[in-house]
């Protein structure tokens, strides 16, 4: 045996042993494992990839589809987790590396097509399925040789080698069917090869229908459909071309292609015997994101969802078939909401319903003009005028834009001039057209490239499959999920071994890389056991709920926090394993909620207007889950890092028509005494008589951590809870500032952290007799993630989210110790429109280590600058001296407390402008604070679209008995979280009674009482 063969044999053995050692990680306890499967049917998988579709794009699609929000996407109920997307070379992947992770189970470099980091080929799940006799195929809307499909059925070191990818498809014949665009990469001899080997080559929908008709009885699949030379048309353009034209001699839609193939599969004897593996890609969501084209992106996502509906119907009909769906990455950094603090926060989906031409199609029309005589050499001014007027006409005719602003015209004129005079390329005109369309919808973008967000994972199939989906996973895990379900793990390894290695060194390198990547891929797998409804509850213990709200924390902030916590990405957040769904956040008055209406939805189960605290749209009080719990004899309390009278906590224990009525909120807390404990900031809203009232009613009022520890020590045996802790006059300090103040100072006469407050309360609860008898309801808020988002302060936002996660760890440990206690967690909204990645650079990148270096919030920087503004340097008449002092202080603060060692000329200009406005006009340095956040963000390649809220769905995490957890899967309205809590605690009617009490309605006056 040669050395190479020995190495291959050794690697094979090692892989087999590693596989045997780790495969059980992908299974759950084997009790009646396959009870919902059909033993007579083989297992099959349909993988669906909506390319470039970050979580916010599903919100976009759902809202554009039906602005009333009464309609859900077909995919929504099947949301079960998220996927972390980075490649081996960047925190922001490209499609090639992402698809290779899905197809092979290995991380690789950007641009790699099913090869490892040493450029050696890797077997794919599709190739393994084919080797096992399964039917295999792909349906896409891009070129079939593009990165995603290529990564399942070819092997090249650079994704641009599309002719070679086409040649491999034809030579290998691993595909029973392949439908999409990209005909230009298949020459005549390739097409003849396919035909001579029994393939039909369809070029339009009619030919596809003819094939279906001819094979309706047998379900035979030997089919290449190449419907366009390049990518297939955007759905918005395909539908416009169909208006008044019912011809089938056209491109098929994605749902049409999927429906036709699945119809044949149900008759196909090979599929019935051996099963099938299919990859379906909604490819062009990504392309619309690269173009910053919002209406087109929404409608591509909707078309993808229509194909999901077809697949779900097929899964329902076909035993043992599983569907899983995850994007490869996000694209464009789109946010629903943009700009400043306009209130209520706006975005307008109906504006995008009016768009019926893509900006790509607009560019194609402009390209015709650029190539015409009107734009011949010497006719530049005429050419520019025609291009500008045509751009305006197309916007007016095919979009929501009826008039173009002077600023928009100026940008178009600049981009057109560059194209005509220099580049002869209208790409930047296309981007500007997208931005013009986005503006009336109040949509923002941060990049024309990819972004580093986690992406949603959806699963539908037998429980043995679905139970592998819950939580946060690496993208490589999806390959393990598929190969384990299909029993293809060893087949895929064999497919890798079939492919020749270049030399012994590379073989050994491959083995080393494989071992590390298998380890990485199997590190964190989170399972549930799904048997009897209440088998994991203790009949002798009451049910309790801990609700945790990370205010302002959109899905991307968890990615930010995880990566800043550990840039090696070997560490997970404590909350990650418990991701089970998402929550839709709009209020009754806006698609983008504020914290008051959102918290009222959680606390009462009713949508209301922005600013409302525990009242309905008619300004009438509503009973809350906390009040219902207290009425039932449960222990109740709240722990927050904002003022305790701020919108979120106020909505659980008070009722006012405007969130700014914080003195009244404090007065209600004191008068009603429905809280056994309340910890946070906001002491300034409690006057002396209120504090005396609390003391006279048995409350202890600690003002620092030491006093909280003293209370804990004094009540350790009984767990007594009668406690108001007010640790700051205003909001409590940011964690980054609290930790900096602690350096070299071990004093406990300070503010406690969120996790310290939570730990003390939970330890007391475990010995509290009332809690043991009646249970408890607690609301915990990581309040200041939101505030850092409003400030566009990235390092502070990351560290607030990490601090929230540390408190989650304390709660999870408590839940493990305490029977029948459930934790659920969801943010109220997103804030800031932060995206991980900015600009067009490739490979796409962002730099978390830059944020690890920040140890002062921009809020604390502003406080120091305020001292300068109030000092002698800024006395009346000393404006120039003042401005210079503020600029110097700003630079010094950045240099001493952040990643920023030098400030660019452009940044100095912006700081000078903001400082001048503050000194000469407003005497308010808030905009300087915002600019400091932007200076910090630029080094990390992070961007923001607003200092307000955004309309994204937020993650839902659940941990507790299965009767509780099983209510969490999927996409829900924020009001549904109240139903989860009240149903689990049996408080539905009690909460209604609390509403009646507030409205002075007796039970006898309620006709429903009879």
SS (H, E, C) 502-550: CCHHHHHHHHHHHHHHHHHHHCCCCCCCCCCCCCCCCCCCCCEEEEEEE
Residue 33 scores a pLDDT above 80: no
Is 70 known to sit in a ligand binding site? no
Residues 146 and 216 in one domain: yes
Q: What is the pLDDT, as a whole number, of residue 246?
A: 82
Q: Has residue 953 got a pLDDT over 80?
A: yes
Verify that 868 and 1005 share a domain, yes or no.
Answer: no
- Same domain? For 577 and 659 the reply is yes
Q: How many CA atoms lie within 13 A of 976 on its CB side?
A: 16
Taking the C-alpha atoms of residue 108 and residue 479, their distance in angstroms, rounded to an integer, is: 14
Q: How far apart are CA 637 and CA 777, in angstroms?
A: 7
In a domain, 961, yes or no: yes
**Of 880, 909, 939, which closes a domain?**
939
Percent of the residues in the chain that have a pLDDT greater than 90, as a whole number: 85
Contacts of 57 (CB under 8 A, 6+ apart): 50, 285, 289, 297, 298, 301, 330, 334
pLDDT of residue 866: 97
| Cis before 338 (ω within 30) | no
Contacts of 33 (CB under 8 A, 6+ apart): 27, 464
Q: Does residue 183 sit in the same domain as residue 271?
A: yes
CA 349 – CA 66 distance, rounded (Å): 9
- Residue 645: what pLDDT? 99
Residues 430-474 pLDDT 10s:
999 999 999 999 999 999 999 999 999 999 999 999 999 999 999
> Is 648 known as a binding-site position?
yes
pLDDT-wise least confident of 330-344, 932-946, 977-991? 330-344
In angstroms, the CA 695 to CA 672 distance is 14
What pLDDT score does 408 carry?
96
DSSP tag of 253: P
For residue 1009, is pLDDT > 50?
no
My answer on whether 228 and 327 are in the same domain is yes
Instruction: Note the pLDDT tens digit of each residue in 145-192.
Output: 999 999 999 999 999 999 999 999 999 999 999 999 999 999 999 999
Domain range enclosing 855: 849-939
Domain closes at, from 939, 965, 987:
939
HEC sequence for 568-594: CCCCCCCCHHHEEEEEECCCCCCCCCC
pLDDT in tens, 460-510: 999 999 999 999 999 999 999 999 999 998 888 888 888 765 444 444 444
Residue 396 domain-assigned (yes or no):
yes
Rounded Cα gap, residues 423 and 916, in angstroms: 39
Least confident of 5-19, 524-538, 632-646, 745-759: 5-19
Does residue 528 fall inside a structural domain? no
Residue 536 confidence class, pLDDT cut points 50, 70, 90: low
The bridge status of strand 677-681 relative to strand 635-643 is parallel
Q: How far is CA 799 from CA 558, 739, 861, 895, in A?
A: 11, 10, 16, 19
| pLDDT score recorded for residue 839 | 77
The number of distinct structural domains making up the chain is 4
Quickly state the pLDDT bin for 245 (edges 50, 70, 90): confident
Q: What is the mean pLDDT of the chain?
A: 91
Which candidate in 595, 753, 825, 937 is catalytic? 595
Range 6-14 average pLDDT: 37
Residue 788 has φ and ψ, to the nearest 5°, of -65, -35
Residue 1005: pLDDT over 70: no
Measured between its terminal Cα atoms, the distance across the chain in Å is 88
Q: What is the pTM of this model?
A: 0.92
Q: Where does 918-966 have alpha helices with state H?
A: 926-939, 962-965
Residue 539 lies in a domain: no
- Is residue 818 one of the residues assigned to a domain? yes
Confidence of residue 6 (pLDDT cuts 50, 70, 90): very low
Q: Is 790 annotated as a binding residue?
A: yes
Give the pLDDT band (50/70/90) at residue 537: confident
CATH number of the structural domain spanning residue 597: 3.40.720.10
Q: What is the pLDDT of residues 179-232, one digit of tens each?
A: 999 999 999 999 999 999 999 999 999 999 999 999 999 999 999 999 999 999
With beta carbons less than 8 A apart as the criterion, state whether 79 and 458 touch.
yes
Give yes or no for residue 952 having a pLDDT over 90: yes
Please confirm, yes or no, whether 588 is among the known catalytic residues. no
Q: Are residues 861 and 932 in the same domain?
A: yes
Tokens representing residue 290 in the block: 């690269």
Give domain status of residue 315, yes or no: yes
CA–CA gap between residue 408 and residue 654 (Å, rounded): 47
What are 803-856's pLDDT values in tens digits? 999 999 999 999 999 999 999 999 999 999 999 999 777 779 999 999 999 999
Q: Is 229 annotated as a binding residue?
A: no
Provide the pLDDT for residue 2: 40
Q: In terms of domains, do 755 and 871 share one?
A: no
CA distance 875 to 881: 9
786 is in an annotated binding site: yes
Judged against a pLDDT cut of 50, whether residue 532 lies above it is answered with: no
Question: Which pLDDT does position 498 carry in this prediction?
Answer: 82
C-alpha radius of gyration, the chain, whole number: 30
Residue 520 has pLDDT above 50, yes or no: no
For the residues 642-658, what does the mean pLDDT come to? Answer: 99
Confidence category of residue 528, pLDDT binned at 50, 70, 90? very low
Average pLDDT over residues 956-974: 95
Tokens describing residue 439 = 């503006």
Tell me whether residue 454 is annotated as binding.
no
685 is in an annotated binding site: no
- Give the per-residue pLDDT at 341: 66
Q: List, for residues 359-418, the tens digit of each pLDDT value.
A: 999 999 999 999 998 898 777 899 999 999 999 999 999 999 989 999 999 999 999 999
Q: Is 259 annotated as a binding residue?
A: no
Q: Is 341 a domain residue? A: no
Tens-digit pLDDT profile for residues 51-87: 999 999 999 999 999 999 999 999 999 999 999 999 9
Question: Alpha-carbon distance 419 to 405, whole Å?
Answer: 21
**Model confidence band, residue 523 (pLDDT cutoffs 50, 70, 90):** very low
Q: From CA 882, how far away is CA 124, in angstroms rounded?
A: 65
Please say if the pLDDT value at position 746 is more than 90. no
Q: By 3-state DSSP, what share of the chain in percent is helix, strand and coil, each rounded to 5?
A: 50, 15, 35
Based on the fold, state whether residues 156 and 265 are members of the same structural domain: yes
- The answer to whether 44 touches 134, Cβ cutoff 8 Å, is yes
Q: What would the pLDDT profile of 544-597 be if each residue is shown by its tens digit?
A: 999 999 999 999 999 999 999 999 999 999 999 999 999 999 999 999 999 999
Beta bridge partners of 821: 544
Same domain? 935 vs 955: no
The residue out of 886, 909, 939 marking a domain boundary is 939
User: Can you give the pLDDT at residue 21?
Assistant: 28
Q: Which two tokens stand for residue 491?
A: 């087949």
Instruction: Between 357 and 28, name the one with better pLDDT.
Output: 357
The answer to whether the beta carbons of residues 288 and 240 sit under 8 Å apart is no
Answer yes or no: are the C-beta atoms of 209 and 203 closer than 8 Å.
no
Q: Which residues are CB-contacts of 281 (< 8 A; sequence separation ≥ 6)? A: 48, 49, 50, 51, 138, 139, 140, 141, 142, 148, 149
Report the pLDDT averaged over residues 294-306: 99
Per-residue pLDDT, averaged over 621-639, amounts to 98
Mean pLDDT of 132-143: 98
Are 919 and 955 found together in one domain?
no
Q: Give the CA angle between residues 263, 268, 272 to the nearest 5°.
A: 110
Domain-embedded: residue 455: no
Considering the chain, what percentage of its residues have pLDDT values greater than 70? Answer: 92
Q: What is the mean pLDDT of residues 114-138?
A: 97
With tokens 């952040």, the residue in question is 898
One domain for residues 170 and 116: yes
Angle at 871 (CA atoms; ends 885, 857), nearest 5 degrees: 65
Residue 260 has pLDDT above 60, yes or no: yes
Measured from the Cβ of residue 88, the count of other Cβ atoms closer than 10 Å reads 19
490 is in an annotated binding site: no
Tens-place pLDDT, residues 782-811? 999 999 999 999 999 999 999 999 999 999
Same structural domain, 853 and 790 = no
Which pLDDT belongs to residue 501? 59
């Amino acid at each position: 045996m040669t050395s190479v063969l020995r190495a291959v044999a050794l690697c094979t053995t090692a892989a087999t042993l590693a596989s045997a050692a780790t495969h059980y990680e992908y299974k759950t306890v084997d009790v009646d494992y396959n009870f919902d499967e059909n033993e007579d049917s083989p297992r099959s998988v349909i993988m669906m990839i909506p390319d470039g579709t970050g979580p916010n794009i599903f919100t976009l699609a759902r809202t554009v589809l039906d602005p009333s929000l009464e309609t859900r996407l077909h995919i929504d109920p099947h949301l079960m987790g998220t996927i972390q997307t980075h490649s081996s070379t960047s925190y922001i992947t490209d499609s090639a590396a992402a698809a290779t992770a899905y197809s092979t189970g290995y991380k690789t470099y950007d641009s790699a097509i099913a090869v490892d980091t040493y450029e050696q080929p890797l077997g794919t799940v599709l190739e393994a399925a084919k080797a096992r006799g399964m039917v295999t195929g792909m349906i896409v809307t891009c070129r079939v040789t593009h990165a995603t499909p290529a990564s399942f059925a070819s092997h090249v070191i650079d994704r641009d080698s599309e002719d070679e990818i086409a040649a491999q498809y034809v030579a290998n014949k691993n595909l029973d069917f392949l439908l999409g665009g990209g005909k230009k990469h298949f020459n005549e001899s390739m097409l003849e090869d396919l035909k001579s080997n029994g393939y039909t080559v369809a070029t339009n929908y009619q030919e596809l229908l003819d094939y279906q008709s001819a094979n309706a009885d047998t379900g035979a699949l030997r089919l290449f459909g190449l419907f366009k030379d390049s990518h297939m048309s955007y759905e918005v353009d395909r539908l416009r071309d169909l208006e008044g034209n019912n011809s089938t001699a056209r491109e098929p839609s994605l749902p049409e292609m999927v429906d036709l193939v699945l119809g044949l599969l149900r008759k196909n004897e090979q599929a019935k015997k051996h099963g099938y593996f299919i990859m379906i890609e909604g490819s062009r969501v990504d392309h619309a994101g690269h173009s910053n084209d919002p209406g087109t992106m929404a409608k591509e996502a909707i078309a993808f969802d229509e194909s999901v509906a077809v697949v779900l119907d097929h899964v329902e009909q076909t035993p043992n078939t599983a569907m899983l769906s995850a994007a490869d990455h996000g694209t464009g950094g789109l946010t629903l909401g943009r700009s400043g603090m306009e209130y209520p926060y706006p975005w307008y989906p109906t504006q995008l319903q009016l768009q019926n031409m893509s900006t790509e199609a607009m560019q194609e029309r402009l390209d015709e003009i650029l190539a015409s005589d009107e734009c011949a050499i010497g006719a530049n001014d005429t050419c520019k005028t025609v291009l500008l007027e045509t751009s305006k006409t197309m916007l007016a005719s095919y979009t929501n834009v009826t008039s173009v602003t002077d600023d928009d015209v100026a940008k178009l004129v600049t981009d057109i001039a560059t194209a005509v005079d220099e580049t002869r390329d209208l790409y930047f005109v296309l981007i500007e057209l997208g931005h013009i369309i986005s503006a009336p919808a109040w949509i923002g973008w941060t990049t024309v490239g990819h972004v580093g967000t986690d992406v949603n994972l959806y699963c539908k199939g037998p429980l043995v499959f679905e139970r592998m989906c819950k939580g946060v996973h690496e993208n490589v895990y999806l390959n393990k999920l598929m190969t384990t379900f299909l029993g293809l793990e060893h087949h895929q390894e064999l497919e890798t071994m079939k492919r020749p290695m270049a030399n012994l060194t590379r073989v050994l390198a491959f083995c080393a890389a494989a071992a590390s990547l298998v380890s990485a891929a199997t590190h964190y797998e989170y399972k549930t056991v799904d048997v009897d409804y209440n088998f994991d509850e203790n009949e002798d213990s009451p049910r309790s709920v801990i609700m945790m709200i990370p205010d302002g924390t959109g899905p991307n902030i968890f990615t930010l926090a995880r990566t800043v916590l550990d840039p090696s990405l070997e560490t997970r957040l404590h909350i990650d394993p418990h991701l089970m769904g998402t929550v839709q956040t709009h209020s009754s008055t806006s698609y983008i909620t504020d914290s008051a209406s959102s918290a009222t939805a959680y606390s009462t189960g009713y949508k209301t207007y922005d600013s409302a605290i525990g009242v309905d749209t008619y300004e009438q009080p509503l009973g809350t889950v906390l009040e219902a719990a207290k009425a039932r004899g449960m222990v109740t309390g709240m722990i927050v890092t904002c003022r305790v009278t701020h919108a979120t906590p106020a909505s659980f224990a008070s009722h006012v028509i405007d969130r700014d009525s914080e003195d009244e909120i404090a007065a209600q807390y004191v008068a009603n005494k429905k809280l056994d404990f309340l910890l946070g900031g906001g002491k300034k809203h409690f006057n002396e008589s209120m504090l005396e009232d609390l003391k006279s009613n048995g409350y202890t009022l600690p003002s620092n951590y030491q006093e909280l520890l003293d209370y804990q020590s004094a009540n350790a045996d009984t767990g007594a809870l009668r406690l108001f802790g007010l640790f700051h006059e205003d909001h409590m300090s940011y964690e980054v500032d609290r930790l900096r103040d602690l350096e070299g100072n071990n004093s406990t006469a300070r503010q406690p952290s969120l996790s310290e407050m939570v730990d003390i309360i939970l330890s007391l609860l475990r010995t509290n007799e009332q809690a043991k008898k009646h249970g408890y309801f607690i609301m915990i808020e990581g309040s200041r993630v939101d505030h850092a988002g409003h400030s566009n302060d990235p390092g502070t936002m990351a560290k607030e989210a990490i601090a929230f996660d540390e408190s989650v760890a304390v709660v999870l440990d408590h839940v493990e110790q305490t029977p029948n206690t459930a934790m659920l967690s969801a943010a109220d909204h997103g804030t800031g429109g932060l995206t991980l990645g900015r600009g067009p650079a490739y490979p796409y990148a962002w730099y978390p280590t830059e944020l690890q270096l920040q140890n002062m919030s921009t809020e604390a920087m502003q406080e120091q600058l305020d001292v300068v503004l109030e000092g002698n340097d800024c006395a009346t008449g000393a404006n120039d001296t003042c401005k210079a002092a503020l600029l110097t202080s700003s630079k010094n603060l950045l240099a001493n407390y952040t990643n920023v060692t030098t400030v660019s000329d452009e940044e100095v200009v912006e700081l000078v402008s903001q400082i001048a406005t503050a000194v000469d006009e407003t005497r308010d340095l808030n905009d300087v604070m915002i600019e400091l956040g932007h200076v910090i963000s630029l080094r990390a390649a992070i961007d923001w679209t607003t200092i307000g809220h955004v309309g994204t769905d937020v993650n839902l995490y659940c941990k507790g008995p299965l009767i509780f957890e099983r209510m969490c899967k999927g996409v829900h309205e924020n009001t549904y979280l109240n139903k989860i809590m009240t149903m689990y605690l049996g408080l539905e009617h009690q909460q209604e009674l609390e509403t009646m009490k507030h409205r002075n309605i007796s039970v006898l006056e309620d006709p429903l009482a009879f």
